[in-house]
A and B are shown apart, each in its own frame.
Chain A
Amino acid sequence: MYHKEKSIQIKNSASALYNNLSVLRIAPRRLTYFTVVHANVVNMVSASWDGLNYSHRQLQSKEPNVATSTSLIMQAAFCVLPSRELLVITSQKGIQMYESDGSIMVYWHALDTPETPSEVNYVPAQAVFARGISAVWENYICVGVSSGSILVFDVPSKGSNITLSEVLEEHKESITDIASECSGSQQCIADLVSADDGGNLCVWKSGEEFQLLNKIPGFDMSCSSVKLWKGTVVAGYGTGQIRLYEAVTGILHAEVNAHARWIYSLDIAPFSGLLLSAAEDSLVRVWHLTVSQETNSVEVAHLHNECVTDTQICGARFCDGDGYAFAVTGYDLSEIIRYTQT
């Protein structure tokens, strides 16, 4: 069904982080951007569709005008809003937003660290970081924090006047991933889902004030990657299972014993309903989802496996909305492996 294409070499290897690959397709310029996180650096590659031109860029996580501060990056993701596209990078220190080509940083938000007691080099026992990035509706970008909070940023259609609009406090454990659907004009009942280290899922309706529509409890097992499609939450867990829930009601539609190890990445191609799952067991699997909103039923069919030998996969994404091609990254691997439909 898929065959392997020529890989894209990147400057550094990928770190073992959830959802460690982000892809942005720029049709007018016949380019695709890829980002992969390596420790405290984001490697960006711009690949032309004819496969002839590749250009590279590296971004570090640091506060503006502070030369010595770099910190480990947890995630980098493209956020597509109707009016603009931004690259959001989250780290131990804070959240940065760049223009999608990585050329200019438009916003920096420092994370609150807990009040430090008298000791000079105090390090809190609980790790502090931001993780989980998603654009939602017309003008919001949501970012999760290790405390369980979700920061909602209001993004104007241009310029750097980005403001923190709301902080959603519902999760008690570190946020792992956030996903949305219906970005732009299309209206949905639920348009945002957030997941945490306890496997708990929160379903939201975005707006000037975000509304919590539903909470789906976890089983003390981390949900590392989550997607929302046609009102269905697709969640991947540390046990290797994928579960499909009806977002608004929390009804379990299907459960797949998908992988033998921790799932690190899920992606959905919205126009075709293809689902991609990747885990530490070296396997990437392609599935087909059928969601019938009239009968409220969901079906999952397995289509294809790819094995990346001796590699714990940490990122997998479709390169287009139909799922014609997908890309994969693995821990310690300095390349982005690509597959295309035959």
Chain B
Amino acid sequence: MSARTLPLVFVNLGGEMLYILDQRLRAPIASEDTSDKGVWSERDRRRVLNDVTATLFGPSFVDELLKPQQLYSHRTLKTVLTRLAHASIMRLNPASMDRLYELTTMAVKHQVLLCPRPKDLLLVSYNHIDAVRDFVRDSPAVLNQVDQAHRRIIEVYSSMSEGELQLLRQTLLVFFQDMHVRVSLFLKSKIQNPGNGRFALPTSGPVPHGTEVPGLIRTFDRRGREVRRSEFPPGGSYSRPAGGGSFGLHGARGTLLGTNTYAANRPEETLASRASAQTGDAPNPLAKEELNLLARLMGSMGAQDGAGAEGAFRISMFSPDDEEQEAGTSKEAEAFEVISIQATQVGCRWSSHLLSITRTKQNALMLKAAFVPQPVPSLFCILHRQRDMLVFCSAQDEHVASELAQIAGQFSGAEEQAENPCGNKGDDLLAMMDDL
């Protein structure tokens, strides 16, 4: 429908993500790799927020977002948000990323749903931008990027009519449809009903700007003069609209939707309970346009490997007990998806096996060799980006691993020998990106 959703989607989802990161990084966290299990230093926290913000509001990324696009699937969005989150010294494991995605999408769904009028969607987005500005207030370069991006967004959206903004909002609502993940923070503040996961919609309070308080019927004569007034029971208690909000670069926005609700709350309250209704992701392979968009967005985010890899802190953002419980149940539980891939025989040094890959409930990949003629010390998989191909080989010794990588590059000219019979190519591609 609307081709203008992406910038607002990323500002709002990205903003929510930064709120959560900010809050969780203040909490004492057991970090897997570092020796000191303590609180993240103020400096490191600021660094994470700066790095993520700089990527989210980077000019080339914003360029891509502002191009008219259809809004694609949750999978694509989650991939880009994962990369955003990893644009810093922090590494989130897939389970944490899943939770983070659920929390941020439910928060934005709530904000979009409760917008009194479609134009208020901009105020919500600007609330996010305002808060992000505050996070990076000590870094003038990043602050400047945020301001630039904000200006460009204002330019694009201030000329949109209410009808066009409503279409945009309706497009977002289709995207968030059927998501009813219970969020403990929302349940606690009675924003969400525990029974059905629906958001509470009040039938009282101020009406939006431009709307009159319901209850009045006026009748006119042929000359336009009012001849009668009558009232009817509105079925709710409404009041006149509150003060307006600013649609400019600065100023009070006039709404609490989109502000940082996590700041006042303790970290435990950002838990999302296990999703009851999965988002209705149609099981189509990733559409070509979608892959193209993904490639462009990732490309515009700049090189990821440099700063990240060495000093990377791997953290499990949400309660480790939760995950262990899940790990326990998933061993017994049936695998979510089984994909069989025939590995390619490359040269005479590798042995080829028929491997099965099972996706567990945490979206991790469990590899099991079905036929093992000899011990399998390590399994390597190579993701060949251009050919959408996964090649699994077992290698006898370690130094061979580096040669595998070289050979992957030589595949560009070679005949495709691997078969990727069933299963979802897009799924594999993205799952591998998570684990890189």
Contact = CB atoms under 8 A, between A and B. Distances in A.
Interface in A1-41: 12-13, 15-17, 38-39
B3 A257 contact: no
Interface stretch (A48-56, A206-214, A266-274, A300-308): A300-308
Interface string B176-214: 011010000000000001000011110100011011111
A124 B3 contact: yes
Given A16-B174, A220-B161, A302-B217, A239 B211 contact: yes
Given A72-B1, A220-B162, A257 B215 contact: yes
A15 B174 contact: yes
Contacts of B215: 257
Nearest to B285: A68
A259 B214 contact: yes
B430 interface: no
Contact of A305 (B70, B166, B233): B233
Nearest to A303: B232
A123 interface: yes
Given A123-B3, A238-B117, A15 B170 contact: yes
B288 to A, nearest CB: 9
B161 A197 contact: yes
A256 B1 contact: no
Interface string A311-330: 11000000000000000000
Main secondary structure on chain A at its contact with chain B?
loop
Contact of B200 (A74, A252, A302, A310): A310
Given A72-B174, A283-B235, A261 B211 contact: yes
B1 A127 contact: yes
A260 B238 contact: yes
Contacts of B166: 222, 238, 262
Interface stretch (B14-22, B83-91, B218-226): B218-226
Nearest to A14: B177
B346 to A, nearest CB: 33
Query: Which of B210, B214, B219, B222 gathers most chain A CB within 10 Å?
Result: B214
Nearest to A279: B214
A300 B210 CA distance: 22
Contacts of A221: 162, 210
Nearest to B233: A305
Contacts of A125: 3-4, 68
A170 interface: no
Contacts of A285: 235
Contacts of A198: 161, 163
A222 B160 CA distance: 12
A332 B177 contact: yes
Contacts of B169: 16
A282 B236 CA distance: 10
B1 A240 contact: no
B329 interface: no
Contacts of A258: 214
A241 interface: yes
A302 B1 CA distance: 36
A140 B351 CA distance: 69
B86 to A, nearest CB: 26
Contacts of B235: 283, 285, 305, 307
Contacts of A74: 1
A241 B193 contact: no
Contacts of B238: 260
Main secondary structure on chain B at its contact with chain A?
loop
Contacts of B3: 123-127
B410 to A, nearest CB: 29
Interface string B286-297: 010100110000
A251 B224 CA distance: 8
A257 B236 contact: no
B167 interface: yes
B164 interface: yes
B170 A300 contact: no
A254 B199 contact: no
Contacts of A17: 170
A297 to B, nearest CB: 8
A12 B70 CA distance: 22
A298 interface: yes
Given A121-B292, A176-B163, A281-B236, A254 B218 contact: yes
B216 interface: yes
Contacts of B208: 260-261
B219 A254 contact: yes
Nearest to B116: A261
Contacts of A312: 113, 201
A187 B208 CA distance: 42
A166 interface: no
A43 to B, nearest CB: 13
A108 interface: no
Contacts of B236: 260, 281, 283, 307
A265 to B, nearest CB: 14
A331 interface: yes
B216 A257 contact: yes
Contacts of A139: none
Query: Which of B4, B117, B169, B219 gathers most chain A CB within 10 Å?
Result: B219
Interface in B91-113: 113
- 10 closest A-B pairs by CB: A197-B163, A302-B232, A222-B163, A257-B212, A305-B235, A16-B173, A125-B68, A123-B68, A257-B216, A254-B219
30 contacts: A15-B170, A16-B170, A16-B174, A17-B170, A72-B1, A74-B1, A121-B293, A123-B3, A123-B70, A125-B3, A127-B2, A127-B3, A174-B163, A197-B162, A221-B210, A239-B210, A240-B211, A240-B212, A251-B222, A259-B214, A260-B213, A261-B116, A262-B117, A307-B236, A310-B199, A310-B200, A310-B201, A311-B198, A311-B201, A332-B177
Interface of A: 12-13, 15-17, 38-39, 68, 72, 74, 92, 121, 123-127, 129, 173-174, 176, 196-198, 220-222, 238-241, 251-262, 281-283, 285, 296-302, 305, 307, 309-312, 331-332
Given A127-B164, A260-B238, A307-B203, 11 more contacts: A68-B287, A123-B68, A127-B1, A222-B162, A254-B219, A281-B203, A297-B219, A298-B219, A305-B235, A307-B236, A310-B200
